[in-house]
Structure formats: C-alpha cells, structure tokens
Amino acid sequence: MNKSPMNYLITFAIACFFWVITGLVLAGHLSDTVSLATLAIEDFLFWYRIAITAVGVISLLLTYYWYVYGSKDSTAGDLEQARRVWYQLFVILIIVAIVALFAKVIIFLDEGIAIIDYLIIFAALSLHTYIFYWLCTFLMSPRAVKYLVPLKK
C-alpha cells in the first residue's frame, strides 16, 4: 500500500470517507441538536461543511507532501530530519484544527451554541486533520520513512 500512486488514491478515498461521516452523518446529528439564536440551521451547516472541507484539503495536501518528501532519495539518508518534518506537519495540523474551531466560535458567538456541540465540531475537525494525517502516514508512508510514524515499529 505504500507504493505510489496507490497511497495517494487510498488517502483520497479515506479523506472522502471521513467527509461523508462528518459532512453528512454528523451534520445530520448537529442539525437535530444545535440550538441557534438567529441563524438558520442550513446556514450553520453550510459554514460547518466549509470548515471541515477546508481543513480536510489542507490535511490531504500535507499528507501528500509527506509522501513526496518520504520518497526522495535524500530523505533516506537523514531520517532524523524526516522525523522532525513528520512531527512538524503533525503539529501544524493540530494548530489548523484549533484555529478552525476558534474561527467557528467567533463566527457563532452570538448563537449560544453549547460547549458539547463545539466539542463535537472539534472532534470532526480533529478527524480531518491530525488523526487523518497520522492514520494515512501510519498505513501508507513510503518505505524509507514508514517506521518514523509514532506507534509503528
């Protein structure tokens, strides 16, 4: 599975699967549970789907970058640098999830959304960012860097 282009295609399929779970199934749950002061639920779901799509695309691109970076011959010669790059990308995706959540909080500040709903949104954002990145790199990193992913030994 760690051969190109198969890893790219499977990664895209996982991203689409996660989007269906969070963009359709979880959005349906949120439409039933979120109580909004002035905004229509359709508008809330629109911005929710924009957020998970944006972070999903960022995660997909950074995961693809890891595949390209890990496939380079020069990467195999400096595995410590490759490990640092993996962790840097992971931290960037954690920050992306947090920033996206803060943006949602600021946008919907006047709507009185419950904290539990924000936690559900953060779980969806996390699934699309650092959890997605870890899972895909755990399963499909190039051979030279496949053992650099945490918990893979």
Whole-number Å distance between alpha carbons of 32 and 44: 12
Q: What would the 3-class secondary structure string for the chain be?
A: CCCCCHHHHHHHHHHHHHHHHHHHHHHHHHHHHCCCCCCCHHHHHHHHHHHHHHHHHHHHHHHHHHHHHHHCHHHHHCHHHHHHHHHHHHHHHHHHHHHHHHHHHHHCHHHCCCHHHHHHHHHHHHHHHHHHHHHHHHHHCCHHHCCCCCCCC
The model's pTM is: 0.94
| pLDDT attached to residue 153 | 74
| pLDDT attached to residue 92 | 99
Which residue stretches of the chain have pLDDT < 70?
A: 1
| pLDDT attached to residue 1 | 64
Whole-number Å distance between alpha carbons of 98 and 92: 10
